Amino acid sequence: MASDSSNGPVSKALTSTLIASLVCLLSFSFRGAAEGQAQGQDGLVHTTASTEQFDSPSSNQLGDLIVTDPVLSELLLQEVIIAFDHQDYDAALQILDEMPASPAGEYYRGLCLLRTGNPAAAVSVLEAVRDNGQTPEELRLDASIALLKSGQPQMAAAELGDMLSSDPENGHARYFLGLAMYEQGDSESAREHIELAAQFDETLEPYRDAFRAYDQRLGAAALGSYKPLSISQSEPRQWNLSFLTGFEYDSNVPLTPVFSGLGGNIEREDSRMVVGLFGDYRFIQDSDEVVGVTGSAYTNFHFDLDQFDVQTYSTSAYWNRAFGDWIAGVTYSFGETLLDRNQFATSHRLAGSVTKRWEQSGHTTGFYEYEYLDLAGLSLIPAQNRTGHTNSAGFTQAWYIGPQNLGRIYAGYRFDNTDAYGSDFDMNSHMLNARIEYPVFQDLVVDAEARQFWDEYSNGNSLDFFERSREDQRLELRAGIQKYIDQNTSLRFDYTYVDSDSNVANLFGVDFYSYQKHVLSALLIYDF
């Protein structure tokens, strides 16, 4: 399970997503203590007050009135607070630009800059407010949050650590210190600070749980595909269940050569409906260890070529364990495939993997896999029996790209060695692959993948007129887009192209294993 697929400690690359989302969420939630007590130059406590009790002066008069009328200055600050509370940060900044500087006003300026995606500017403003010596401790916290969000976790950690030296039970400071430590790759210290934060301040428990939900997705899910934080589970749970259905068009349906006429393969196109279900239950779900089982079922229904309807059922058990920046994983899986509702194949697969996480830059995974495939039917002669044993090994390198490291580039190599019962299918296979995933928007992800196979068979092929050893080259290209509609629902569209070139041919030069395929699919995915 510690490969680059499926969903389940979070990688350091996801930390930027986590911080960007939790910083905004948390700074909204506990702002009240600081904002409810922010003091102006007159020493008054500012509260949200209606400004309908006075007539606003003209813009020409405003500057002079603000300077000479402290009451008007105070009321305008209330306008800023009201605009801030309504998340109209541009309006709040516009009012602040027309006011003389004050600690409270500059405090709100820093918060508005932080909310509008200008953390560097917010750092400058909030640090200036903090350093004037006339401001409450909460402003130091906001300045530290701005440092953290602007990509300066070391400076944020130093400031937050200084705050905690005088107030060790400051839950909010300790929570953000945990995020800063996590951003720097010190996950153990991060977890300790965040757990303590929730103990000191119970209002932080939901945010501790949100952090746990990410940190507990050990192995494959932490290293795998993008999913927006805004629609992720905020509460850690021990199960996942997903349902998908949709439509596919396939320009070349048959899975094996069709013998007709002189023996050539005939391309037959059709469309089909697909239905699938995937479930995952984790018996152990700790920050450093996950043990669970999965199950899946898939079926399709062709409109015309129903003899090629496929049903697959699989189940697996997995264990993942983190050792600092290393993740080890073991998975056993069993699968059964039906063709036209008759048994077609069964498989047993045992896989092990080791992953090294490179903090914010990416991760490297090496793996070994053993599979026994038992294929029933479709063997005209013993040489065509594909039942056999396959040993595989390879690696995948991932790089984190784009804003907040949300994008992924993957590159990998896989080697397969198959010892089949039929001499036609003893072979070595080499595969190179490259994949990119990129969130164009918060709820829209595009991805593309290319895979190139070189298959070298060991024995003369029974279908080749000259009994040559089979040599195949196959190119697979895929492009997709996924739109997240809400917390549970997404739409996915894919195009896949396959081009297989083989040297196996009969006396008349008709190929058996050369073909092209185009597949278009549209799927509706629902995550319970």
User: What single letter denotes the amino acid at residue 229?
Assistant: L
pLDDT bucket at 427, cuts 50 / 70 / 90 = very high
In angstroms and rounded to an integer, the radius of gyration of the C-alpha atoms of the chain is 30
Q: Say how far apart CA 251 and CA 497 lie, in whole Å.
A: 10
Sequence length of the chain is 528
Compute the mean pLDDT over every residue in the chain, rounded to the nearest whole number.
77
- Residue 168 clears pLDDT 50, i.e. is over it: yes
Average pLDDT over residues 133-149: 68
End-to-end CA distance of the chain: 21
Q: What is the DSSP string of 451-518?
A: EEEEEEEEEE-TTSTT-PEEEEEEEEEEEEEEEE-SSSEEEEEEEEEEEEEE--B-TT--BSS-EEEE
Q: Say how far apart CA 366 and CA 251 lie, in whole Å.
A: 35
Q: Say how far apart CA 369 and CA 353 lie, in whole Å.
A: 9
Average pLDDT over residues 137-160: 76
User: What single letter denotes the amino acid at residue 288?
Assistant: D
Angle between helices 153-166 and 171-183 in degrees, nearest 10? 150
Q: State residue 258's pLDDT score.
A: 41
Q: State residue 110's pLDDT score.
A: 81
Q: What is the DSSP string of 184-222?
A: TT-HHHHHHHHHHHHHH-GGGHHHHHHHHHHHT--THHH
List 275's β-bridge partners, or say none: 245, 299
Q: Say how far apart CA 166 and CA 181 lie, in whole Å.
A: 19
Q: State residue 81's pLDDT score.
A: 74
Query: Is residue 65 helix, strand or coil?
Result: helix
Number of neighbouring beta carbons within 10 Å of residue 239: 11
Distance from CA of residue 261 to its chain's centroid?
Answer: 50
pLDDT bucket at 417, cuts 50 / 70 / 90 = very high
Average pLDDT over residues 250-269: 60
| Strand ranges, E, within 265-341 | 270-285, 289-302, 310-323, 326-339
- Residue 293 clears pLDDT 60, i.e. is over it: yes
User: What single letter denotes the amino acid at residue 309?
Assistant: D
Query: Which among 153, 199, 193 is positioned nearest to 173, based on CA atoms?
Result: 193
- Residue 222 clears pLDDT 80, i.e. is over it: no
143 vs 316, higher pLDDT: 316
List 418's β-bridge partners, or say none: 390, 427
Angle between helices 103-115 and 137-149 in degrees, nearest 10? 30
- Residue 59 clears pLDDT 80, i.e. is over it: no
- Residue 53 clears pLDDT 70, i.e. is over it: no
- Residue 232 clears pLDDT 70, i.e. is over it: no
pLDDT bucket at 415, cuts 50 / 70 / 90 = very high
Report percent pLDDT > 90 for the chain. Answer: 31
Q: State residue 217's pLDDT score.
A: 43
Across 136-140, 207-211, 342-346, 353-357, the highest mean pLDDT is recorded for 353-357
356's CB contacts (< 8 A; 6+ apart) are 325, 326, 363, 364, 365
Number of neighbouring beta carbons within 10 Å of residue 365: 24
pTM for this entry: 0.64
